Structure 1
Amino acid sequence: MFVVESLGRTSSPSFFYSHLFQNIANEICLVDVVADKLKGEMMDLQHGLAFTRHCIVKADTGLDYSITAGSKICVITAGARQREGESRLSLVQRNVEIFKGIVPKLVQYSPDTTILVVSNPVLFIFGVYIASVDVLTYVTWKLSGLPKERVFGSGTNLDSARFRFLLSEKLKIAPSSCHGWIIGEHGDSSVHHILYALVAVWSGVNVAGVTLSNVKPDIGGKTDDEHWEQEIHKKVVESAYEIIKLKGYTSWAIGLSVAKIVQAVMSNSRNVFALSTNVKGFHGIKDDVYLSVPVVLGANGLTHVVKQNLNEFEVQKLHESSNALLEVQRSLTI
């Protein structure tokens, strides 16, 4: 069984659709404080079960978390938006308080669970936009008391998928045959800050083992006459805003991404994902900070981090993200 805590208007429907048609689990538990929406989503899913493999769908308003007992994985999508006149630090702390009411209860009834954090309310702090999914994943780890390998965020997994898709269009091959990663902070917060905090690992982009930087040494750099950075990296950052402008919100891609992550845990697939995890000890980072890097994911969470051979610029940008997030973490009361 797995739990979804809080039903957002964006990714939840597509996530459930993906789950049911990929036969990921035999039981889903929905938890939300909005009772009417919760009941409606549960009924809608239940009425479609005749067209899928057998799956139990149940729900609760969050007053009694015993319904979640024995969950293999818990997916948290809850998060507060900024109120008019509210300070940014107040918004962060308010989200921390929400998580205080969720995380300990999930762990109480499912002490062996893994937790995936998808929540990503926009935070503008200390003059820059911060990817809150990374901050909230750190908060979840601290509140849960679970080993760090069993608490992770959706991070830049979708950003990496967008990166590969745009690469595939330029190279005219399938996205699955393009290998490239976006690391650092998740990229749906701000073009101005995240363009630099969301790190495209150009040094590792390859097709069939052929590294593009060996063929074109200036790829992604300032002297790149084909403008790969402008055409691809910048579009990775801006694509979410374009979708939101056109349809009001993002849904299908993030839903598919989350479903694939959950499937990896449920099936012990040991696939590699770009997830937000504790990066202390990697690439010279010395603090408990959550950033996205490639990781191997299995039944018990993260089995290990894939240590990429980053160039000096990529390491520098990773450290800048680490320092920004650390400053936010130190301002919190957990």
Structure 2
Amino acid sequence: MKCYRENDPNKIAIIGAGGVGATTAYALMVQGIASQIALIDINKDKAEGEAMDLNHGSSFIKPAEVYAGDYSDCKGANVIIITAGANQKPDETRLDLVKKNTEIFKEMIPEIMKYNDNAIILVVSNPVDILTYVTLKLSGLPKNKVIGSGTVLDSSRFRSLISRNCEVAASNVHGYIIGEHGDSEVPVWSLTNIAGTSLDNYCPVCNYNCGNEDRKEIAHKVKTSAYQIIEKKGSTFYAVALAVARIVRSILRDENSILTVSSLMEGQYGVEDICLSLPTIVNSSGIKRVLELPLDPEEESGFINSANTLKETTKKLTL
């Protein structure tokens, strides 16, 4: 059954009711972030089944209604989350998906725009940076209203691995992965800190190893985590759903949180006309400000290389 409450400030539309889309709806419900969620999928039975399953747990959480719909149910949503697209297969990179998913987006984005040209669009489908760029070009929306989930998940993986290495809570670790959500991503060790103390100052007193080899291993694990999970269980969805819920919370609650979402670059570190991840202030307007923080030369060079890698791919697209 559809919910027809109008002017609901916490209405979310999710395009794609697969593993990531359904788990995102679950995360938004459990955390009390969304009060109304429209699940939209080409497989209507799948969307209806997911909505039924989620609604059956409604007595355990804050009030929230989930229903299966179509593109018309994007109307009134403050945030439209796109998880639809071809799935990444074992031994397939995110960039391998670009042509297949770009064609899907060429059909999907105009349909969304018919019913809602005011919402913030949050792209989660891979390759997320290129599809964020594609969405920006196809939708005609202002640059602040098109966001990719970017390296929010990668940054969480980064923090998690450092926390395990140093045996401190992940919430006390602050660090970023920037650039592409993919093989050219860049760990920003120069800005990483534990309890406000840089790693270079913290490591000598923590009694755990965190030398260059340890750092290389952590960065490698962050980069290859998705491949390992896909090989072992077929897909990733729990952690990415939590990452998406974190972004949506910052939007709906106007938090001004700093998150490494993907957005259009306009000269940051000399990079333009491509979507990449940098620490970004996210609030009810979407992208409030992309931060250009001091990087060491190797990190800046890595970010520029990441941008060039993605640009080579976008040159092959017809938009």
Which bracket does the TM-score occupy, shorter chain normalised? 0.7 to 0.9
Mapped partners of 1:173, 1:81: distance in 2: 35
Mapped partners of 2:52, 2:193: distance in 1: 45
Q: By how many angstroms is 1:91 displaced?
A: 5.7
* Alignment of 1:27 onto 2:22: no
Sort the Cα spacing of 1:77 and 1:89 in 2 relative to 1 into closer, same or farther, 3 A. closer
* Alignment of 1:4 onto 2:10: no
Which residue is equivalent to 1:176?
Answer: 171
* Alignment of 1:235 onto 2:221: yes
Greater shift in the superposed pair: 270-279 or 224-233: 224-233
Equivalent residues of 1:205, 1:213 under 8 A apart: no
Equivalent residues of 2:280, 2:290 under 8 A apart: yes
| 1:254 corresponds to which of 215, 240, 259 | 240
Equivalent residues of 1:168, 1:178 under 8 A apart: yes
| 1:289 corresponds to which of 254, 274, 279 | 274
Q: By how many angstroms is 1:81 displaced?
A: 5.0
* Alignment of 1:167 onto 2:162: yes
Mapped partners of 1:91, 1:251: distance in 2: 17
Mapped partners of 2:95, 2:158: distance in 1: 31
RMSD: 2.2
Q: By how many angstroms is 1:279 displaced?
A: 1.6
Mapped partners of 2:199, 2:241: distance in 1: 30
What are the equivalent positions in structure 2 for 1:184-333 lying under 5 Å apart? 184-187=179-182, 194=183, 197-213=184-200, 225=211, 227-285=213-271, 287-333=272-318
Which residue is equivalent to 1:51?
Answer: 60
Mapped partners of 2:123, 2:138: distance in 1: 13
| 1:139 corresponds to which of 129, 134, 137 | 134
Paired AA for residue 284 in structure 1: G
Greater shift in the superposed pair: 295-304 or 101-110: 101-110
3-state DSSP of counterpart to 1:78: coil
Paired AA for residue 39 in structure 1: E
Mapped partners of 1:266, 1:54: distance in 2: 16
Equivalent residues of 2:252, 2:284 under 8 A apart: yes
3-state DSSP of counterpart to 1:186: coil
Sort the Cα spacing of 1:50 and 1:314 in 2 relative to 1 into closer, same or farther, 3 A. same
Equivalent residues of 2:15, 2:21 under 8 A apart: no
Mapped partners of 1:90, 1:333: distance in 2: 16
Sort the Cα spacing of 1:92 and 1:247 in 2 relative to 1 into closer, same or farther, 3 A. closer
Q: By how many angstroms is 1:210 displaced?
A: 1.9
Paired AA for residue 305 in structure 1: V
Which residue is equivalent to 2:5?
Answer: none
Which residue is equivalent to 1:102?
Answer: 108
TM-score (norm 2): 0.88
Mapped partners of 1:302, 1:89: distance in 2: 24
Which residue is equivalent to 2:4?
Answer: none
- Consecutive unaligned residues in structure 2, runs of 5 or more: 1-10, 205-209
Q: Deviations over 1:289-315 (max 9, x none)?
A: 011111111111011012110111111
Paired residues in the alignment total 300
Q: Deviations over 1:80-99 (max 9, x none)?
A: 2589xxxx999634422211
Which residue is equivalent to 1:158?
Answer: 153
Q: Deviations over 1:146-191 (max 9, x none)?
A: 111110111111110011111111222111111111001113xxxx
Mapped partners of 2:221, 2:80: distance in 1: 31
Paired AA for residue 181 in structure 1: Y
3-state DSSP of counterpart to 2:59: helix
Equivalent residues of 1:76, 1:116 under 8 A apart: yes
Paired AA for residue 20 in structure 1: M
3-state DSSP of counterpart to 1:24: coil
Equivalent residues of 1:202, 1:213 under 8 A apart: no
| 2:46 corresponds to which of 37, 40, 63 | 37
Sort the Cα spacing of 1:215 and 1:263 in 2 relative to 1 into closer, same or farther, 3 A. closer
Paired AA for residue 45 in structure 2: D
Mapped partners of 1:254, 1:67: distance in 2: 24
3-state DSSP of counterpart to 2:14: strand
Sort the Cα spacing of 1:91 and 1:297 in 2 relative to 1 into closer, same or farther, 3 A. closer
Equivalent residues of 2:151, 2:180 under 8 A apart: yes
Paired AA for residue 97 in structure 1: E
